[in-house]
Structure 1
């Protein structure tokens, strides 16, 4: 992380792909049989806002670990963490890191 990013903060965007066997586990119209996307969003948001890392790789890995521990019924998770306005010369929109893990 560059000194400017530490001072000014940075804009991050996170995509979360969750694998959950809804065909087997969701038999009724009942939230208790599935995973609440609102809860997952809040877990990610709280993590991003309350942690400070030098590398987006660390953000991605630690957030993935937290999600896997917080939602043990999810089979697997893939996170994409994007950082915008990177102070590097070049023509690109963002830098993106992708990590995956499973509870199996």
Structure 2
């Protein structure tokens, strides 16, 4: 399936289980695959037939920089729901949220949650 990719969107948010995360905040990275046919916009060269990258970024930003939640899974689910509400042409999406340097014991480069959702689930 065709897709638009929004890679490495960077945000600062206050999400996490630990009080320090909610107080101090931290960096997050989001990758989004927006799956739908690019044939019509490819032929028409008309933005009205596609999904505007900037608009999709702003939607993700609102979630990531908005109300704090505990889990990356909740952020990903909210983003996917908002994408489906906003774009009727969207057939499926994959959302990956990465937390660099998580405040948990051990040595990690990052932790992440990834979901794949289809419109008719």
TM-superposed CA distance for 1:103, in Å, is 1.8
2:113 is paired with a residue whose SS is: strand
Higher strand share: 2
Runs of 4+ in structure 1 off by over 4 angstroms are: none
TM-superposed CA distance for 1:85, in Å, is 2.1
In the alignment, is residue 7 of structure 1 matched against residue 43 of structure 2? no
1:54 is paired with a residue whose SS is: coil
TM-superposed CA distance for 1:40, in Å, is 0.3
Structure 1: runs of 5+ lacking an equivalent: none
The answer as to whether partners of 1:14 and 1:80 remain within 8 angstroms in 2 is yes
Residue 64 of structure 1: aligned partner: 80
Let me know the Cα RMSD of the aligned residues. 1.2
Q: Any idea what the Cα deviations from partners look like across 1:49-95, whole Å, max 9, x if unmatched? A: 12210111111111111111111211111000011221112121111
Which one scores higher on RCO, CA 8 angstroms, separation ≥ 6?
1
